[in-house]
Amino acid sequence: MDSPRRSAASRTAALVAASALALAATAILGIGLGSNPIPPARVVEALVAYDPTHNDHLVVVLSRLPRIALGVIVGAALGLAGTLMQSVTRNPLADPGILGVNAGASFAVVIAIAFLGITDVSGYIWFSFVGAAAAAALVYLLGSSRGNVGTPVRIALGGTAVSIVIGALTQMVLLSNDAAFNSFRFWAIGSLQGRDFGVAFTVLPFVAVGIVLSLALISPLNAITLGDDVATGLGTSALGARIGAAVAVVLLAGAATAAAGPIGFIGLGSAHVARFFTGNEHRRLLPTAMLLGATLLVIADTLGRVVVAPAELQTGVAAALFGGPLFVALVRSRKVAAL
């Protein structure tokens, strides 16, 4: 009989292989699909013999490819951020959307657009980081008491309260500023549409640093999983690990939100699906959740272009719509309660 560790490794390998295959297949299909379908032969032609005077070639190279690339970056960032948040808070509901991080980043971007006239990602990404960090700190303070780590319920309630208040403030600013509303409304719904390679290149360094920092925390996160007292006994600083994880989450979620707007479910869903297969060993969990986040977001974005063609669902709407049934299944799963 296989040992539990070998069984988890086998399940992880199967999930990684299936996820990588699904990501590759969806990316290839996604390049050709959309309001202007492009035959596979024309897609290959655009990739190997690009002609800037050919309309289909322009669509493939300047629109579809950047969209797929950004979907991979944003999805990986959200998947990793959601997993980190669940690990350090030991809260199965932790997610950049549910705990107010996306709302804080959105509000800061609204401020940048409405009062400073900043409308490009390279300009407001710094505001996104500040907003994400401020919201995360506020939620942690509300969910904690007397220096103790907050319980999952208190942190979830704090995140919900912060999200509602920040959401109301965001709407108040937008409703009083028509120009900001028009600039913000497509970004706010969460979309990969209209983003070029410049957006991907702007956020990629921040996501890369967040990924490296996250992977450097694998051993401390494994120790925290055993409890703070055990972690301290093993020579791990639980506070240091949580601070490092918080910095990584701000980088990952802040960059993802600045690039594509607030997109929910991806961080929550990919973390739970990955943990279902890998268990709580972060050496397997973090890379798997990262790959799964990229796969789920690219699939959701592609389905959003297919199901209502020739129109399309915005990525954030598609992720929530198609992820809903999966989340219901997760809620009914014992694995959620066992986190």
Structural element, H or E, at residue 243: helix 238-260
DSSP 285-337: HHHHHHHHHHHHHHHHHHHHHHTTTTS---HHHHHHHHHHHHHHHHHTSHHHH
pTM of the model: 0.85
In percent, how much of the chain has pLDDT > 90?
18
Whether the CA torsion 123, 126, 130, 131 is positive or negative: it is: positive
**pLDDT (average), residues 198-204:** 89
In percent, how much of the chain has pLDDT > 70?
89
Q: Please give the DSSP secondary-structure letter assigned to residue 149.
A: P
pLDDT in tens, 80-101: 999 998 888 777 777 777 778 8
DSSP 94-138: --TTTTTHHHHHHHHHHHHHHHH---SHHHHHHHHHHHHHHHHHH
Task: Bin 265: left if φ > 0, else alpha if -120 < ψ < 50, else beta.
Answer: left
Q: Which of 98-107, 193-202, 210-219, 305-314 has the highest mean pLDDT?
A: 210-219
pLDDT in tens, 119-173: 777 787 888 888 888 888 888 788 776 656 566 667 777 888 888 888 888 888 8
- What's the CA gap between 256 and 264, in Å, rounded? 11
